[in-house]
Chain A
Amino acid sequence: MTIYYAIFGLALGIVIGNVCPYSMPPEYGRLLAVAVMAGLDAVLGGVRAAIEDKYSTAIFISGFFTNGIMGALLCYFGAMLGIDMYMVAVLIFGMRIFQNIAIIRREYMAK
């Protein structure tokens, strides 16, 4: 059941995003990119936790929002200080995404 809710939510989000007339000013594009990476990481982490029977809604929600917001904030301050936090955030989130995918795949194969 849950997966239908997820797909429905995703579709609704895409529709809203398309209808919404605003788009990010280019200088903040990177911050949003980091937030998107964090979101993907949190979602895959949630799926993995579900497969491992450790899923908790509170952890999932808090992880999704804090990772996204903190990632974007760190990048913002990093840019002010001349530190390319963007690279670091993308690298870490990317690594975690791949790790999560690998674990999900293994769990699937095992069952």
Chain B
Amino acid sequence: MIQRFRMDFKANIIIALVFMVLGFMLTVQFKTTERQRNIRIERVEDLSERIRTIEAEKTQLQKELADLRKNYGNLISDAEVERLNLLAGTSEVYGPGLEIVLDDSTSNKKMGENPNLYIVHDEDLLRILNELRAAGAEAISVNDQRIGAMSELRCAGPTVSINNVRSAPPYVIKAIGDPKTMASALRLRGGVVDTFAFWGINVKIHDTDKVVVPGQKITRAYEYAKQSPTPKEENKK
């Protein structure tokens, strides 16, 4: 068929050139598609590899933790462990205390007034916590987040972040301590609860014989704070 066309050399060279361009484009296109596919596969492999290593690390660390716990029992007495746990707030505790439920205002808003005034803010919670601490609360939790030595309580958009966990109203504050002292501290005239009542924020305070406050899960390692040598240790040297 094609042999019928006796073309001159120039035309043949041009055809060869055209086919060269075509071949080049085909290969580049093929490589581009191939590479995109490879990138996706590589990413999946990379991520699953990382999961595997991290999981291995996790089991290793858990083993280490169990070992350390075992030895640690030998080093200090149980009473000491309990005292340290209480101080650190890492264990669940129970005792007499208060359960306070705080919710946003249900009263009708007046026209032109800032709706922010009618909702519970981080500052309101902080004032309650402060009041409870002043009244001798020994363990406090907000929405089951234990307030420990390093806990934060801050505004996080429409929610409040406590121990880096967000929670929304209603806020349930549990406090262990003397119920009467704490309740009267809150209900002081011109005190916290009085202010809330003005804005219609709902506060309910129950005093109960048994409040259970969960422990704080501490995942944080101390990076900057180092223990100063105590006088006892200095004497040893």
Q: A residues touching B (Cβ–Cβ < 8 Å)?
A: 1-3, 5-14, 16-18, 20, 22-24, 26, 29, 32-33, 35-36, 39-40, 42-43, 46-47, 50-51, 55, 57, 60-61, 64, 68, 108, 111
Query: Which B residues touch A13, using CB under 8 A?
Result: 19-27
How far, in whole Å, are A47 and B5 apart by their CA atoms in the complex? 11
- What string of 1s and 0s marks CB contacts (under 8 Å) between B12-40 and chain A? 11111111111111111111110110000
Q: How far is the CA of A11 from the CA of B26 in the complex (A)?
A: 11
Name the residue of chain A whose CB is nearest to the CB of B23.
Answer: A13
Q: Which residues of A contact B17 (CB under 8 A)?
A: 9
Query: Quick check: B5 and A6 within 8 Å, CB to CB?
Result: no
Shortest beta-carbon distance, A99 to chain B, in Å?
19
Docked CA distance A55–B18 (Å) = 15
Q: Contact check, A64 vs B18: say whether CB atoms are below 8 A apart.
A: yes
Q: Are B29 and A29 in contact, with the CB atoms below 8 A?
A: yes
Q: How far is the CA of A35 from the CA of B29 in the complex (A)?
A: 10
Q: How far is the CA of A9 from the CA of B7 in the complex (A)?
A: 16
- Flag if A36 contacts B25 (CB, 8 Å): yes
Chain B residues whose CB sits within 8 angstroms of the CB of A51 once the complex forms: 1
B23 touches A17 (CB 8 A): yes
Chain A contacts of B26 at CB under 8 A?
Answer: 13-14, 17, 36
On chain A, the residues within 8 Å of B21 by CB distance are 13, 39, 64
Assuming A12-B20, A16-B20, A17-B23, is B12 touching A24 (CB within 8 A)? no
A50–B16 contact, CB under 8 A? Answer: no
8 other A-B residue contacts (CB within 8 Å) besides A14-B24, A18-B31: A2-B2, A10-B20, A17-B24, A17-B28, A20-B27, A23-B28, A24-B32, A36-B22
How many of B's residues come within 8 Å of A, CB to CB? 31
CB distance from B192 to the nearest CB of A (A): 57
**Prevailing SS type, chain B contact patch:** helix
Q: Output the least CB separation between A8 and chain B (Å).
A: 6
State whether the Cβ of B11 lies closer than 8 Å to any Cβ in chain A: yes
When distances are taken between beta carbons in the complex, the residues of chain A under 8 Å from B16 are 5-6, 8-9, 12
Contact B23 A14 (CB under 8 A): yes
Query: Which of chain B's residues have a CB closer than 8 A to the CB of A64?
Result: 18, 21-22
Asked if residues A26 and B32 are in contact (CB atoms below 8 Å), the reply is yes
Name the one of B5, B7, B33 contacting A29, with C-beta atoms under 8 angstroms.
Answer: B33
Residue of B nearest to A6 (CB): B19
Q: Which residues of B contact A60 (CB under 8 A)?
A: 15, 18
Per-residue 0/1 for B110-135: is the Cβ within 8 Å of any A Cβ (1 yes, 0 no)? 00000000000000000000000000
Report the minimal beta-carbon distance from A35 to chain B, rounded to whole angstroms.
6
A9 x B19 contact (CB < 8 A): yes
- 6 interchain pairs (CB within 8 A)? A5-B12, A14-B27, A17-B23, A17-B28, A57-B11, A111-B1
Q: Once bound together, how far apart are the Cα atoms of A68 and B21, in whole Å?
A: 11
Contact A43 B19 (CB under 8 A): yes
Choice from B7, B24, B32, B36 contacting A16 with Cβ under 8 Å: B24
Residues of A within 8 A of B219 (CB): none
**Is A36 within 8 A of B15, CB to CB?**
no
User: B59: which A residues are within 8 A, CB to CB?
Assistant: none
Instruction: Return the contact of B32 from the options A1, A11, A32, A40 (Cβ within 8 A).
Output: A32
